[in-house]
Chains A and B, each alone.
Chain A
């Protein structure tokens, strides 16, 4: 099955700086890559996703890049704010079964 690895496990950044989280996947058939944000005690919520026919996608301060050849994708958060502090999960899925395989998560702390 799919194996998704996520790095780093923790990330501390100064407010206003950028944060980058990287994930690799093993199944070359994977074609959907979402990122979820989970605040303390809350449910995971989708913040951005990318499909395999696209190399980059941006939504305000958040961007995701995908390199299918190398089988890795990254989340970029610019101009970080205290409300960006949370656990972020990457995931990968194939078209046929819609199951998501999640990375272990990155705890992001934005220092004021």
Chain B
């Protein structure tokens, strides 16, 4: 049981390049989330999904797109990277219909992205 995994762990992009971050969970969770973490600002929600095929905007969605084609995967895309998107990105998941307890979010190990 790997929990929540993220790929890649580190990435350096040039301004204007694109990339996709992959999040995978093996806990059969319904909900998945993408956060960014910047110094002194805590964790801010970018986009989230309450089920396969659904996505919704969070607090800071601009410049990002997401997709959830499979229940266990949640992809975060940057179409044209900007230096302001330099951050650590965390994926999280929660809520198994069988286990109940929908509140606790389990986090992945993070992806450190630098945009130059």
Q: How far is the CA of A43 from the CA of B9 in the complex (A)?
A: 12
Q: Which residue of A lies closest to B94 (CB)?
A: A98
For A32, A34, A45, A100, the residue with the greatest tally of chain B CB atoms inside 10 Å of its CB is: A100
Does A9 reach chain B (CB closer than 8 Å)? yes
Size range of the chain B interface in the assembly:
20 to 34
If A43-B90, A43-B110, A44-B90 touch, does A100 touch B42 (CB 8 Å cutoff)? no
Q: Which residue of B lies closest to A105 (CB)?
A: B42
Q: B18-26, B75-83, B100-108: which one contacts chain A?
A: B100-108
Does A99 reach chain B (CB closer than 8 Å)? yes
Instruction: Kindly identify, within residues 23 to 82 of chain B, every residue whose CB is under 8 Å from any CB belonging to chain A.
Output: 31, 33, 40-45, 48, 50, 58-59
If A1-B59, A43-B110 touch, does A102 touch B42 (CB 8 Å cutoff)? yes
Q: Across the interface, do A104 and B103 meet the contact criterion of CB distance under 8 Å? A: no
If A43-B108, A43-B110, A44-B90 touch, does A102 touch B43 (CB 8 Å cutoff)? yes
